[in-house]
Amino acid sequence: MGAGRRALITTAVTVVCAVTVLAAPGIAFASPSPTPTPSSSSTATASPTPVTNKDLEAVRTKLDDLYHDAAVATDAYNAAEEQAQKQSAQIVELAKKIVKGQEKLDELKDRAGAAARSQYRTGGLPDEAQLILSDNPQAFLDGAGRILQGQRATKGLIAELTRTQQDLKQYTADASTQWQQLEKNRQAKAAAKKEITARIAAAEKLESQLEKQEKERLAKLEQQAALKAQTAWLDSGVLKEISGKASAGGKAAVAYATAQLGKPYEWGAEGPKSYDCSGLTSQAWASAGDPIPRTSQEQWKQLPHVDVKDMRPGDLIIYFDDASHVAMYIGDGAIIHAPRPGRTVTIAGAGSMPILGVVRPDA
């Protein structure tokens, strides 16, 4: 290992912090001054400085922050994508209504025009005047009935024309509103995508600074941190209180999730080849016949909450204060989840991350 490895790792963490700040829109910074290159004499005399566990712990913490930020942005991306799909469908339906409304309006105008042409052919006299001039009593009586019917029909035609024109106006206004919202969601998707790629790129850059042995030590530190959190969770005695049995839907959802083990994490993915965290849980429950919201934040907001002690296999555990991660409980204190970029769908301890709460899709 070359001299200054510890300094290099410390610098890498600092640089990545700066890179993530620079990724924020609308902020400009001056280029940093180049790092002085050590002289050949100092290089020759310096002894290798080992990268300590404290240094690697700083790397681990920073990586956790970066991937957490990427998860938050992924949720925002997925939410914008879901809304964009709904708005596109609504625009299509409104377009169909506008076409039908225009066809109906054309038909009503034709009917109104036919009535006007008929009046012109009778000399321009209204039906009432023609009736008064008639010298046939029976024709007078028959005509009176027809006049009343005609008046009602005319009023109905005018009312229908008015309603159709108002409907078309409303459909057009609604379509315009949906288009504007669709454009906002497209912009939100683009911003979220930029955020995701910046965070993941920063994490990958930081990890690339490590040698193979350091990456292995980092992986052990990550495992130790997860084990420590899981052990603390189990030591609380919570597992003794959890005895719920899976529902039929829960069993089906767990079976689906289990079949995805080993597939890669990919942000925004809903299978079948790759998943993000909420893509896995939403597809698992969709396969069980209970569609649920697409994002972990909406799953937390919309699905019924249950106490941790009451959870059963198939329930979803929401993690972190901002509900940025979700996993499926499978029993015995374990979960299946899609962790983060660079990882695969895997089984982990339910208490290995900070639990926000539990939701039940088939409550």
Residues assigned a catalytic role:
277, 325, 337
Which token pair is 279?
A: 């893509």
Q: Coil, strand or helix: which one is 135?
A: coil
Torsional sign, CA 151, 156, 161, 163: positive
Cα-Cα-Cα-Cα torsion 83, 85, 88, 90, nearest 10 degrees, comes to -70
DSSP for residue 74: H
- In angstroms, the CA 17 to CA 59 distance is 11
Which token pair is 196?
A: 């995701």
DSSP for residue 24: S
- Using alpha carbons only, how large is the chain's radius of gyration in Å? 34
Q: Coil, strand or helix: which one is 167?
A: helix
CB-based contacts of 218, cutoff 8 Å, min separation 6:
56, 59, 60, 207, 210
Q: What is the DSSP string of 242-309?
A: --PPPPHHHHHHHHHHHHTTTPBB-TT-BSSS-B-HHHHHHHHHHHTT----SSHHHHHHHSPEE-GG
Which token pair is 231?
A: 């052990």
- In angstroms, the CA 75 to CA 57 distance is 27
Residues 105-117 as b/e (b if ≥16 CB within 10 A, e otherwise) read beebeeeeeeeee
